[in-house]
C-alpha cells in the first residue's frame, strides 16, 4: 500500500469514526427544552455518510485495486450535508438567543453538545474530503505511470 493510499485510508477511517461520534452525540443530546425532536435528515445523512466512509476503509483491505474513488466524495457530500442540516435544525434556538427573544441565554447543557456535534460533523466531512483528494492523486499518479510504460 502506497503512502497516499495509506493516508487516504486513515482519513476515511477518521471520517467514519467522527461521523459516528457526531451521530451518537446528536441522538443522545439533540433533544432539549427548545428543540423538541431530532431532525431525521441529520440522522440519515450522517449515518449514510459514516457508512460510506467505512465502505471506503473496508474496500482498501479487500480489494487490491481500489477503484471506488467516488465513495469518499459521496461520503464527504453526505457528511457536509448533515452538517448543514444540523445547523438548520439548531437555527431557531440560536436566533432566539442571539436576538434576545430568549432571555435565559445560552445554557451550557445546550451549548456544549451543539459545539461538539458541530465540530465533529465538520471534521468528519473534511476528513472524507481529504481522503478523496489523496485517493484521486494516487490514481492520477498510477495512470501517469501506466501511460509511460
pLDDT per residue as tens digits for the range 81-136: 999 999 998 887 788 777 877 777 778 888 899 999 999 999 999 999 998 888 77
Q: Grade residue 46 by pLDDT with cuts at 50, 70 and 90.
A: very high
**Count of domains for the chain:** 1
98 belongs to a structural domain: yes
Residue 20 has, within 13 A of its CA and on its CB side, a CA count of 11
Please, where are the H alpha helices in the chain?
Answer: 3-29, 40-62, 71-99, 108-148
CA distance 128 to 11: 6
Q: Cell 490514481 maps to which residue?
A: 139
pTM of the model: 0.82
Q: What is the extent of the structural domain holding 113?
A: 3-137
149 belongs to a structural domain: no
Angle, alpha carbons 79-85-87 (nearest 5°): 110
121 belongs to a structural domain: yes
Q: What is the pLDDT of residue 40?
A: 94
145 belongs to a structural domain: no
| DSSP 8-state secondary structure symbol assigned to residue 103 | T
82 belongs to a structural domain: yes
Inter-residue contact 135 to 8 (CB < 8 Å): yes
Q: What is the pLDDT of residue 41?
A: 95
Q: Which of 16-20, 32-36, 47-51 bottoms out in mean pLDDT, i.e. has the lowest?
A: 32-36
Amino acid at each position: 500500500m502506497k503512502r497516499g493510499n495509506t493516508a487516504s485510508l486513515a482519513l476515511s477511517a477518521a471520517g467514519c469514526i467522527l461521523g459516528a461520534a457526531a451521530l451518537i452525540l446528536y441522538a443522545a443530546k439533540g433533544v432539549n427544552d427548545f428543540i423538541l425532536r431530532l431532525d431525521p435528515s441529520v440522522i440519515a445523512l450522517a449515518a449514510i455518510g459514516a457508512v460510506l466512509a467505512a465502505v471506503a476503509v473496508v474496500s482498501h483491505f479487500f480489494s487490491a485495486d481500489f477503484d471506488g474513488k467516488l465513495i469518499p466524495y459521496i461520503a464527504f457530500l453526505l457528511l457536509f450535508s448533515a452538517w448543514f442540516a444540523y445547523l438548520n435544525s439548531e437555527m431557531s434556538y440560536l436566533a432566539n438567543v442571539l436576538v434576545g427573544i430568549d432571555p435565559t441565554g445560552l445554557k451550557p447543557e445546550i451549548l456544549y453538545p451543539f459545539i461538539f456535534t458541530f465540530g465533529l460533523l465538520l471534521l468528519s466531512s473534511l476528513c472524507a474530503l481529504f481522503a478523496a483528494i489523496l485517493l484521486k492523486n494516487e490514481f492520477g499518479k498510477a495512470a501517469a505511470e501506466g501511460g509511460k510504460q
